[in-house]
């Protein structure tokens, strides 16, 4: 049985998306269904920098290095293309966090 993970967005204009556990966000989020933009989709450009609320595995060492460049000290910052979906999450582009 496949477990669906609910991806919600802080903005109300985007409906929730349901993906399978361990799906890659960058393969499913588009300009039409989310506020998250993607550039390289490999975790080096920082385009998909987001704030995530929810219980997910910690970033890899490689992702930590990129986060230290683009969002130093922000422990909710993640690269959406690198997130391993294990539980429901809420996403907002990091630029919206003040």
Structure confidence by residue, pLDDT tens digits, 36-92: 888 888 888 999 999 999 999 999 999 999 999 999 999 889 999 999 899 999 999
Q: Burial code of 2-27, b = ≥16 C-beta within 10 A, e = fewer? A: eeebebbbeeeebeebebeeebebbe
Cβ–Cβ < 8 Å for 5, 85: yes
Is 26 a residue whose pLDDT tops 90? no
Query: In the prediction, which pLDDT does 69 show?
Result: 94
Other CB atoms within 10 Å distance of the CB of residue 61: 7
pTM of the full structure: 0.85
Cβ–Cβ < 8 Å for 20, 4: yes
Structure confidence by residue, pLDDT tens digits, 55-66: 999 999 999 999
Query: In the prediction, which pLDDT does 2 show?
Result: 57
Structural domain range at position 14: 4-96
Output the domain CATH number for residue 44: 3.10.20.30
Please give the Cα distance from 59 to 38 (Å, whole number): 18
């Amino acid at each position: 049985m496949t477990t669906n993970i609910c991806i919600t967005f802080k903005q109300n204009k985007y409906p929730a998306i349901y993906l399978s556990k361990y799906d890659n966000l960058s393969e499913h989020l588009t300009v039409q269904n989310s506020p998250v933009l993607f550039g390289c989709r490999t975790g080096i450009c920082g385009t998909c920098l987001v704030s995530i609320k929810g219980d997910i595995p910690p970033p890899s060492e490689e992702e930590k290095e990129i986060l230290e460049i683009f969002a130093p000290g922000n422990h909710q910052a993640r690269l959406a293309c690198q997130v391993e979906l294990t539980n429901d999450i809420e996403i907002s582009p990091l630029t919206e966090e003040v």
